[in-house]
Chains A and B, each alone.
Chain A
Amino acid sequence: MQIKIFGPGCAKCHQTEDVVRAAVAESGQTAEVVKVSDMLEIAAAGVMSTPAVMVDGKLMSLGKVPAKAEVLSWLAS
């Protein structure tokens, strides 16, 4: 499983990364967490509001810090 976090490096983007990493650790799954901060890559992924989270090529959350429970539900499905 690959999780991409899109964000140019703002406070909320770091929070998102922390939440996602914590959720991955809690779920016990093996997932690769990648932080994407390049504006062009962000735009190429179709993201217009950051922070955004993509799980296996599917955008799950846009423009907000997701709750840990939310991230866990993505990991479970």
Chain B
Amino acid sequence: MNSERQPACACAAPAAPAAPAGLGRYLFWGLPLLAAWFALYRFLPDLSRWLTYDLLGLAPGGHLADAVEFFLYDTPKVFMLLTLVVFGVGLVRSYFSPERTRSILAGRREAAGNVLSASLGIVTPFCSCSAVPLFIGFVSAGVPLGVTFSFLIAAPMVNEVALVLLYGLFGWKVAGLYLATGLAVAISAGWVIGRLGLEHWTEDWVRQMRAAPDMAPEDRLSLADRVEYALEAVREIVGKVWPYVVAGIAVGAGIHGYVPQDFLAGIMGKSAWWSVPLAVVLGIPMYANAAGVVPVIQALMAKGAALGTVLAFMMSVIALSLPEMLILRKVLKPKLIAVFAGVVGAGILLVGYLFNLVL
């Protein structure tokens, strides 16, 4: 689940290691770097205060000082977290491939299959540009339609960039809730679609297609290759999302410093029941990745928007995107796309109301 959802494609899997390098070299540089990472991370709040109040000489308590401190603290924090987590996920992902996931899922029963499929959606390298070949590959190999959908919903929605940002800006509880409810939506929406028996709403030729034999070359990556793969993932993903992250945090900092507290409570607070469906509908045509959305969401919440509304918005932006639906149109009839959007949208709606009710 790549965070990016560009239809023009930015294929997920990072490039191959150029030349095998010794694992020793990575350990030699990696361990001190990791230690430095933790030291710097702990020191960040002090550093941002020192920069804001001592170096820039801003008066504590002012709007500008608030905004500047927020920006100077959050930007390095988010980048440090992003680098570490993308590296870790890259390592895990080097052990999974769509081919392997397909062979695990082929012939699975529904329910258990949906759970497995949504979970594998998190760790399998995926790019929305290859959603069509992947869909055909899964269905033709005997992965049930609903189980395939669980994968296609979870893969983009529950992604490492979203989780890092939620953790960095809201803490582990919100990140955990997002992970759990994102999985729940993917599992249940896939299960519902499977129960509806809509196989005849896939394009006719898709059903006639016979499974192509699995010809994937055996992968014999060494641990050093996997480290190289993960480093490439860091270069690629961080290299791609950094402008969105900086812009998002800057907007967040502006709102943080200047917009009065509770400004949004009336329109995005718990009492406004219509704010959740509105958030879902607004999210569909929005074309953004998690990296850009999360910092804005943080600022919204700080000003009184309800967590459920805001999470529903975020899920809708990254799980229900118009570009992906257009890509899937090649293999699904419009009716099935409508059902897909409806079922996933309903799931997100429930999540939004649930959070607003409970928290």
Please report A residues at the B interface, Cβ cutoff 8 Å. Answer: 7-13, 15, 39-40, 42-51, 58-67, 69-70
Chain A contacts for B215, CB-based, 8 A: 46, 58-59
B15 in contact with A12 (CB, 8 Å): yes
Asked if A39 and B330 make an inter-chain contact with CB atoms under 8 angstroms apart, the answer reads: yes
| B18: chain A residues within 8 A (beta carbon) | 67, 69
Task: Apart from A8-B130, A67-B17, list 11 A-B contacts with CB within 8 A.
Answer: A9-B9, A10-B11, A12-B11, A40-B330, A46-B212, A49-B13, A49-B127, A49-B134, A50-B129, A61-B217, A62-B97
B133 within 8 A of A: yes
Question: Which B residues are in CB contact (< 8 Å) with A61?
Answer: 16, 217
Q: Is B99 an interface residue (CB 8 A)?
A: yes
- A-B pair number, CB within 8 angstroms: 106
Nearest chain A residue, comparing its CB with the CB of B18: A67
Interface residues of B (CB under 8 A from A): 8-19, 97-99, 102, 125, 127, 129-130, 132-134, 136-138, 140, 205, 209, 211-217, 330
Can you name 11 A-B pairs with beta carbons within 8 Å? A10-B129, A11-B11, A13-B9, A39-B132, A43-B140, A47-B133, A48-B99, A48-B130, A61-B217, A62-B216, A65-B16
Which residue of the partner chain, among B16, B19, B213, contacts A66 with CB atoms under 8 Å?
B16
Residue of B nearest to A70 (CB): B16
A27 vs chain B, min Cβ distance (A):
18
Indicate if the CB atoms of A48 and B11 lie closer than 8 Å: no
- Determine if B217 and A62 form an interchain contact, defined as CB atoms under 8 angstroms apart: yes
Q: Which residue of B lies closest to A41 (CB)?
A: B133
**CB-based nearest A residue for B101:** A48
> What are the 8 A-B residue pairs with the smallest beta carbon separation, nearest first?
A46-B212, A10-B9, A63-B13, A43-B136, A48-B98, A65-B15, A48-B137, A43-B133
Say which residue of A45, A47, A63 sits within 8 Å of B12 (CB atoms). Answer: A63
Nearest A-chain residue to B210, judged by Cβ: A44
Q: Which residues of B contact A15 (CB under 8 A)?
A: 15
When distances are taken between beta carbons in the complex, the residues of chain A under 8 Å from B98 are 48-49, 63
Chain B residues closer than 8 Å to A48, beta-carbon distance: 98-99, 102, 130, 133-134, 137-138
The CA-CA distance from A61 to B217 in the complex, in Å, is 7
Is there an interface contact between B99 and A62, defined as CB atoms closer than 8 Å? yes
Report A-chain residues with C-beta under 8 Å of the C-beta of B214. 46
- The residues of A that contact B211 with a CB separation of less than 8 Å are 46
Give the distance in Å from the alpha carbon of A50 to the alpha carbon of B16 in the complex: 13
Closest to B213 in A: A46
Chain B hits for A39, CB < 8 A: 132-133, 330
In the bound complex, residues from chain B placing their C-beta under 8 Å from that of A43 are 132-133, 136-137, 140, 209, 212
* A70 and B9 alpha carbons, distance in the complex (Å): 24
- Shortest CB distance A45–B (Å): 6
Please, which residues of chain B bring their CB within 8 A of the CB of A12? Answer: 10-11, 15
Q: Known contacts A8-B9, A46-B213; decide if A67 and B16 are in contact (CB<8 Å).
A: yes
- Cα distance A66–B205 in the bound complex, in angstroms: 32
Residues on A with C-beta less than 8 A from B134 are 48-49
Q: Which residues of A contact B217 (CB under 8 A)?
A: 59-62
- Among B127, B137, B205, the residue within 8 A (CB) of A46 is B137
A45 close to B19 (CB less than 8 A): no
B105–chain A nearest beta-carbon distance, Å: 12
Q: How far is the CA of A50 from the CA of B35 in the complex (A)?
A: 37
A residues in contact with B14, CB < 8 Å: 64
Which one of A40, A65, A70 has the greatest number of beta carbons of chain B within 10 Å?
Answer: A40
Interface centre among A7, A10, A66, A67 (most CB of B within 10 A): A10
**Closest A residue by C-beta to B14:** A64
The smallest C-beta distance from B187 to any residue of chain A, in angstroms, reads 22
